[in-house]
A and B are shown apart, each in its own frame.
Chain A
């Protein structure tokens, strides 16, 4: 005999937990609609389907299979003794499909288009078949369930009578639709061979899904009976469950045979014994979903025992939920290489949907005639009634079902807000390009700073105290080129001064150059990358002692002072010091010969920049057009163009056109 629901602490605690989950899920779903899927899920371009598809939809449909299986057993095969559990099975199926639809509305990127398949039909799409089946079978389930919901409403009696007369056509339509629907979920994975582990991809996916759904439906009806018996402290229909589990054992056996024979025939069984994690997962799934339940349901020691029904059914459900998750996503990891772990927000949403449906189930059980022996005295959402004379509460206690539900809902919603807040903060971060922040440093200038390049001596980096304050110190910035700890000197003050003082900031800092995360030096210093010689006459002259030093190179005093008549470079530059350069040489050079600009850029610099810049997510030096922009011979023209881009603010309009026009 079941206990009064108003005083059943087990039931009250369960309902509070369910309301709590609903509250949290509601908040998460709200945020998901406002901000999109990226922030509220762990889904990525590589893993576009996650828990909401794998659990809510794939498993949800399969878990609802009990409805058509039991309807078939009773109405088609005449097994009248199961009559008593058809109603709970139909209710479960109906709620299961509602759950699938709710799950889809959450998961679909553009849920307002969910009705489109009715009018835009793609007959080649397994998902179109799925969509139509969901719509039609949900309607059939609603019609099958309607008599139960309406039977106590006197005005609806004509409808109830009509639906009861239509029960056989409805049941047959339901079976047809379910057969198609359960299998079409498998058909969906015939299109995804390219991303599935061979142990799970199978041309027989459709029949495998159908067979497993039948077993899963039987298991789910059993499990649900066992759980609600525990919850309402009522006696479960053990006799009936015994029959269901015997049938389930047969179906599971069939499933096992088809699955293994299919793998064997296609020569894929080798993957099951290759010792990989996926092989382990495969055997775990088979053990949970089929092998262990078959043993529990058929071995003489456990057959017919209540505990064996409960645990066996739980294993079937867990095993096939795992199977759906494997087919729908986990086995894809073998190919895509990206492991997906559902975000907490996803888990909470899925649990919240299940919790909401469980609450509806409990509501129906307490209000309608779902069981032949309904639970006593439902805990109504009663208002607290207070007798001012007697100073006593009348009717419901001061904290009745309604208040408890609201409190749990609010607690859950608060938890949901905290969860979403944490989740969004993590997901909102950009994938950082590993470019280190510039460093401040102090240098002492060398004698002739007017020559090209920089002659300097590093005195101290930022934060250190210069050891010799007597010299002329210049603050400079060292810029990391690609996160490789190779710093390039950048004289910020000098740049600012040359470009026009305080008004010039935007020339570099607001360039919004195509593909750039930050403006690169090369955007202005194109002349450094022209294919010119590395030789600087002026610097050589200074270094060697001014006007008196001509003869150091132009040895023959009678010959014209030309490059051809001068000494070879490697007469002095010998040996070159490869250990002194920061650039790793990737090309072979004759000993003693420095590379020209073309060789240096193409051979020494470009290869590294291509690799390092791509790794840094910042491929600007790798682009040929970065250097080969011969249109700008005139420096003024370059600056004018640069300014116009900067003024346009970057991402559109005339500035964009200018930027595009800069490419030769």
Chain B
């Protein structure tokens, strides 16, 4: 499969939480959620609950890592502990993670969670059962496999986009003509179709328009140029100013020959600092 993606049809979800349970069992995050001061409510995402159901009105919206095509978290990670795999999954390698939590600040959907209670903490989030699927243990993520309603399905992103378009086309009165995740922040691998505006169901209303890493990347591209040009400029200014001081000193020596020259500031003084 070229890419890993999930399509969630909000109109089909009954909020049964079988996906939550399957995720917990598969990823061994523990079956209990006992939230502490640093987590949200028991039913919010947490380090032990990588997917959950947001309930708004009478709609149920699955919430988990959106696996952005250009993820802010992976761009933020200084060591690439969070990284995008060839399949488009945003995976995590705790062995090199510093624990700086920049990923948590950089996620536009605020999906990453942290093991605050641990002295050896890890970043926790949905990893689309990546290793279990590539290792052949699972054929699809535990959550999509567990869904009794087929409300959340697994597939290649292009196929799922086509499927989403087909469903919207088949029943235009039911669905809003929008696939959430198709273009937002440069596109995500987790797509949603719905009959209500998802902004009312926990979708961030203030998303950056472009892919998160774009602007920072532009600035970072200037780093070598900045380094070299600042260095050359400083060396140049130093040379010019020293030369002027030297010429001024020589001129002073020429006009008021003798002891006057010795009192003028001469180059080489900086060695005293």
Interface set of A (CB-CB < 8 Å, partner B): 33-39, 43-46, 48-49, 72, 74-78, 80, 83, 86-87, 90, 104, 107-111, 113-114, 116-117, 120-131, 164-165, 167-168, 171-173, 175-177, 179-180, 183-184, 187-188, 190-195, 203, 206, 332, 335-336, 426-431, 433, 512-517, 607, 610-611, 614, 617-619, 622-625, 650-652, 656, 659-660, 663
A contact residues around B15 at 8 Å (CB):
610, 622
Query: Contact between B79 and A172 (Cβ–Cβ < 8 Å)?
Result: no
Chain B 203-221: CB-based contact to A (< 8 A → 1; otherwise 0): 0101110001101110110
A contact residues around B223 at 8 Å (CB):
129, 180, 184
The 8 Å CB contact of B108, one of A128, A194, A428, A651, is A194
Contact (A194, B208) CB under 8 Å given A517-B34, A624-B16: yes
Q: Name the CB-closest residue of B to A120.
A: B79
Contact (A624, B235) CB under 8 Å given A83-B273, A191-B216, A514-B21: no
Query: Contact between A37 and B121 (Cβ–Cβ < 8 Å)?
Result: yes
Chain B 1-29: CB-based contact to A (< 8 A → 1; otherwise 0): 00000000000001111101100110010
Give bound CA distance, A579 to B55, whole Å. Answer: 29
Query: Contact between B79 and A113 (Cβ–Cβ < 8 Å)?
Result: yes
Give bound CA distance, A72 to B32, whole Å. Answer: 59
B260 contacts chain A at the CB level, 8 A cutoff? no
User: Which of A87, A431, A650 has its CB near the most chain B CB atoms (within 10 A)?
Assistant: A431
Q: Name the CB-closest residue of B to A117.
A: B78
Known: A74-B270, A123-B220. 11 other contacts (CB 8 A): A33-B119, A45-B39, A48-B114, A76-B238, A122-B77, A124-B75, A172-B235, A335-B206, A429-B37, A514-B25, A624-B14
B contact residues around A514 at 8 Å (CB):
21, 24-25, 31
B106 contacts chain A at the CB level, 8 A cutoff? yes
B271 contacts chain A at the CB level, 8 A cutoff? yes
Minimum CB–CB distance from B98 to chain A (whole Å) comes to 5
Which residues of B in the span 160-180 have a Cβ within 8 Å of any Cβ on A?
Answer: none
Q: Name the CB-closest residue of B to A652.
A: B28
Interface set of B (CB-CB < 8 Å, partner A): 14-18, 20-21, 24-25, 28, 30-43, 45-47, 55, 58, 72, 74-81, 94, 96-102, 104-110, 113-122, 146, 148, 185, 204, 206-208, 212-213, 215-217, 219-220, 223, 226-227, 230-231, 234-235, 237-238, 241-242, 245, 265, 269-273
B contact residues around A172 at 8 Å (CB):
231, 234-235, 238
B contact residues around A177 at 8 Å (CB):
227
Contact (A45, B55) CB under 8 Å given A173-B231, A514-B24: no
A contact residues around B273 at 8 Å (CB):
74-75, 83, 86-87, 90, 167
What number of A-B contacts does a CB cutoff of 8 Å give?
295
Give bound CA distance, A160 to B226, whole Å. Answer: 31
Q: Name the CB-closest residue of A to B236.
A: A76
Q: Name the CB-closest residue of A to B242.
A: A78
User: Which of A116, A125, A194 has its CB near the most chain B CB atoms (within 10 A)?
Assistant: A125
Query: Contact between B17 and A515 (Cβ–Cβ < 8 Å)?
Result: yes
Query: Contact between A617 and B43 (Cβ–Cβ < 8 Å)?
Result: yes
Minimum CB–CB distance from A6 to chain B (whole Å) comes to 29
Query: Contact between A114 and B21 (Cβ–Cβ < 8 Å)?
Result: no
Query: Contact between B220 and A124 (Cβ–Cβ < 8 Å)?
Result: yes
A contact residues around B81 at 8 Å (CB):
120
Give bound CA distance, A296 to B257, whole Å. Answer: 45
Give bound CA distance, A273 to B32, whole Å. Answer: 47
The 8 Å CB contact of A78, one of B107, B119, B220, B241, is B241
The 8 Å CB contact of B98, one of A36, A110, A517, A619, is A110
The 8 Å CB contact of A176, one of B18, B76, B213, B234, is B234
B contact residues around A113 at 8 Å (CB):
79, 96-99
Q: Name the CB-closest residue of B to A107.
A: B100
A contact residues around B219 at 8 Å (CB):
126, 183, 187, 190, 206
The 8 Å CB contact of B104, one of A48, A74, A121, A652, is A48
Contact (A191, B72) CB under 8 Å given A38-B116, A45-B38: yes
Give bound CA distance, A429 to B34, whole Å. Answer: 10
Q: Name the CB-closest residue of A to B79.
A: A120
Contact (A116, B96) CB under 8 Å given A43-B38, A172-B235, A195-B105: yes
User: Which of A72, A191, A619 has its CB near the most chain B CB atoms (within 10 A)?
Assistant: A191
The 8 Å CB contact of B35, one of A34, A109, A617, A622, is A617
User: Which of A110, A428, A659 has its CB near the most chain B CB atoms (within 10 A)?
Assistant: A110
Give bound CA distance, A195 to B38, whole Å. Answer: 18
B contact residues around A659 at 8 Å (CB):
31
Contact (A76, B269) CB under 8 Å given A110-B98, A624-B14, A651-B31: no
Query: Contact between A39 and B117 (Cβ–Cβ < 8 Å)?
Result: yes
User: Which of A86, A179, A512, A513 has its CB near the most chain B CB atoms (within 10 A)?
Assistant: A179
Query: Contact between B77 and A663 (Cβ–Cβ < 8 Å)?
Result: no
Give bound CA distance, A104 to B78, whole Å. Answer: 14
The 8 Å CB contact of B17, one of A45, A193, A622, A660, is A622
Query: Contact between B97 and A190 (Cβ–Cβ < 8 Å)?
Result: no
Give bound CA distance, A39 to B208, whole Å. Answer: 33
Give bound CA distance, A130 to B122, whole Å. Answer: 22
The 8 Å CB contact of B78, one of A34, A131, A622, is A131
The 8 Å CB contact of B40, one of A46, A180, A428, is A46
A-B contact list, 9 entries, CB within 8 Å: A109-B99, A116-B98, A117-B79, A167-B273, A180-B223, A188-B102, A194-B72, A427-B38, A514-B31
Q: Name the CB-closest residue of B to A512.
A: B31
Query: Contact between B235 and A125 (Cβ–Cβ < 8 Å)?
Result: no
A contact residues around B234 at 8 Å (CB):
72, 76, 171-172, 175-176
Query: Contact between B110 and A195 (Cβ–Cβ < 8 Å)?
Result: yes
Minimum CB–CB distance from B74 to chain A (whole Å) comes to 8
B contact residues around A430 at 8 Å (CB):
34-36
A contact residues around B119 at 8 Å (CB):
33-36
Give bound CA distance, A650 to B31, whole Å. Answer: 9
B contact residues around A188 at 8 Å (CB):
76, 102, 216
A contact residues around B122 at 8 Å (CB):
109
Give bound CA distance, A187 to B102, whole Å. Answer: 12
Query: Contact between B230 and A193 (Cβ–Cβ < 8 Å)?
Result: no
Considering the complex of A and B, which 9 residue pairs feature the smallest CB-CB distances, nearest first? A109-B99, A38-B116, A617-B42, A194-B108, A624-B16, A48-B104, A120-B79, A110-B99, A128-B78
The 8 Å CB contact of B55, one of A109, A111, A614, A624, is A614
Give bound CA distance, A177 to B224, whole Å. Answer: 11
Contact (A124, B213) CB under 8 Å given A45-B113, A206-B219: yes
